[in-house]
Structure 1
């Protein structure tokens, strides 16, 4: 959990501890002593009398120019995972265009789950239609917007792109801080009162702009194995923790922007976060190891997560294809009827209303009601009325496929 409150004492000039060309070591982060304004009013005198309390904040190395070669088995795993991503992208990107949208959605769901923001597929579907009654579902939909912003900006990895991702992600949760670097300390730990004794205190806020410039310099290089580069950039981003909230989700969106920028993916989004959900403890341990000077663990974990995500994604594709196959046999409509266009839309938007169908497919209201009756009679959808929001329809088969993907991803629910 991140906490943030104002601090005293601006940072001194940040040293450049980047590794020179040809040096195979990865520098561990350093620490700097800062002071926290003491607001303790009860307890031992040594705590209540001190106007400031000291704490240590992270001082990450500059990485833009680092030359680093991982261990041989890590290189091999990253290359194998990259090939698997390319194959997956080719297989599903050329076959099922709607599947790219559903994969992006599943990645956003999984990335949110890593931050304990959970919602079922039906709630998310309603939030996509503007129903804001379920807070977590709205946050997941905002994560989808952040992912779309990340992929839209993939042609140019720039600071403005990262801010756009965060702005899309936090537009409802923190409109005042959305798209803005933090201006106060953040830390990970159990206390919300101060960073004293926290598990990890991110760099002083005054260092964030320069550290992010350096990170994007590293991300823009073209002489590093792609998956290795994306994993390291993600770990450095999480170490900098440039925002007051939403760092994990924005950092994983940046990872996907890098995969698209480097050409590893062209059409689909491999739900890497779903793979990371299988080993959340390992994910956090790998980030700690990175900060201690060992990037190999986060690279290897990202590769392993990729394989798990691809297996899960293939199962999701099979479940959706099975649903579409059943619809082919059950929908009694001419092949040129609008019912088939609606059915295709349902594979990536499993909850719909008349307005969505009119906006997306250009259908007249009378046509919508007639075609939805056909789909209801076939069992492809169920109609339901939402208070003050009118008639809605949902595909329980697609919703079940999406919830099944989420359940397979998150081993925490089974432990």
Structure 2
């Protein structure tokens, strides 16, 4: 690194014009007068000197990610010549874990139902939105720009008006502390600095002279330091990680559940962000390296579980090869909750054929009905739900 001070954030004194809500006398006394807002450095052309042991660990982690990505090419099952829904499963598990870091939790069953646009709780809908945002970020990896970052945020927060979906914040935000920025744990830059800082970050993301995992770790930390949105910064910032992995060519088939790895020690993750702001990039690189190893190990276990489940289904389902019921099996790995209408649309079959497929899967104990009545009935693949919840438990995440 050219010098720790070049990476450390600066500070500027700002007038407080916010509306003070109810607070104690102590809080009111602490919230008088001006406050300090950070001034993140521009990093588009900044040099970095990472300790050799940190760089070596990051390189080993990157090799493991690439190896895992290649392994999926040989994984079962395949559907219509495409890589299995296992890639979709990993995308969803990563999205759920990324949301969990922000305190938004949803079990596998609730998320599967929310993905159907069926009745679901608010958290499940938020996690489902995060899946869409993650996919949008990956799809835009070749066009990494301010617009693509805004598009990912718009997808993530599309029904959260307070977050100004797809727009940079227009006021001061802060992290922790209290009702004003005066006692906050960290105060991101003034909102009028955000567009230029994001433009600088985009240029940094396009560099090709930094090792990939080091590169994306620093980009993520810089994004979180800028904190460009009213809400959804953490989740949007973690989509940037996957966009950069895809852009670099390290991943071609899947979304490695790195956020699930970060969940193993969120305190260390947040401490590493603090260290980055103080001018030390090594901890955040280390956290992403360790998270990658944890993610690959957990992801491999999930893939094994789902492959075994699929093989059991194949043996236990008496329907002929090519039947609607058999064609639905791969889809159930990535979407373990279905309705007849969903099956009808996915398989492009008639309503009676879709109902017959569901009935056959129920008879084979692959699906179980979870709602009653003649309207809006839904079924779940319990084995898949269990595998996904076990994945969450291994990360320490509550469902």
Is the pair's TM-score, using the shorter chain for normalization, greater than 0.5? yes
Structure 1 residue 176: Cα displacement: 6.4
Q: Counterpart of 1:313?
A: 299
Indicate how the Cα distance of structure 1 residues 214 and 132 shifts in structure 2: closer, same or farther if over 3 A, else same.
Answer: farther
Distance 2:338 2:226 in 1: 40
Determine helix, strand or coil for the equivalent of 1:33. strand
2:114·2:124 contact (CA, 8 Å) conserved in 1?
Answer: yes
The number of residue pairs the alignment matches comes to 389
Residues 1:391 and 2:377 aligned together: yes
Contact map agreement 1:215 1:233 (CA 8 A) in 2 = yes
Pick which of 168-177 and 69-78 moved more: 168-177
Quick check: which one's helix share is greater?
2
CA distance in 2, matches of 1:45, 1:53: 14
| 1:335 to partner: Cα distance | 1.5
Cα deviations by residue, 1:324-349 (Å, 9 ceiling, x for unpaired): 12112211111221111111110110
Tell me how far 1:67 sits from its aligned partner.
1.5
Residues 1:374 and 1:387: Cα distance change in structure 2 (over 3 Å): closer
Contact (CA 8 Å) 1:188, 1:198: kept in 2 or not?
Answer: yes
Q: Which runs of 5+ in 1 are unaligned?
A: 1-21
- d(CA) in 1 for partners of 2:109, 2:240: 27
| Cα displacement (A) at 1:161 | 0.4
2:146–2:202 Cα contact (<8 Å) kept: yes
Partner of 1:92: 72
Judged with a 3 Å threshold, the aligned counterparts in structure 2 of structure 1 residues 387 and 115 are, in CA distance, closer, same or farther, namely farther
Say which structure is richer in strand: 1
- Aligned: 1:83 with 2:63: yes
Superposition pairs of residues 63-142 of structure 1, within 5 angstroms: 63-96=43-76, 97=83, 98-142=85-129
Q: Do 2:112 and 2:337's aligned partners in 1 also have CA atoms closer than 8 Å?
A: yes
1:110-150 per-residue CA deviation (whole Å, 9 max, x = no partner) reads 00000110011111111111124300000000000000110
Task: Tell me the alpha carbon deviations over residues 160-206 of structure 1, each in whole angstroms, 9 at most, x when there is no partner.
Answer: 00000000000122376000000011101141x21111111110001
Deviation at residue 389 of structure 1 after TM alignment: 4.8
Name the TM-score, length of structure 1 as normaliser: 0.89
Partner SS for 1:259: helix
SS at match of 2:320: coil
Counterpart of 1:73 in 2: which secondary structure? helix
Matched, 1:257 2:243: yes
Structure 1 residue aligned with 2:289: 303
Dislocated runs of 4+, deviation >4 Å: 38-48, 386-389
Is 1:93–1:268's contact at 8 Å kept on the other side of the alignment? no
Aligned partners of 1:342 and 1:301: how far apart in 2? 39
Report if the CA contact (8 A) 2:61-2:292 is conserved.
yes
Q: Distance in 1 between matches of 2:130 and 2:373?
A: 26
The answer to whether residue 2 in structure 2 is matched with residue 23 in structure 1 is: yes
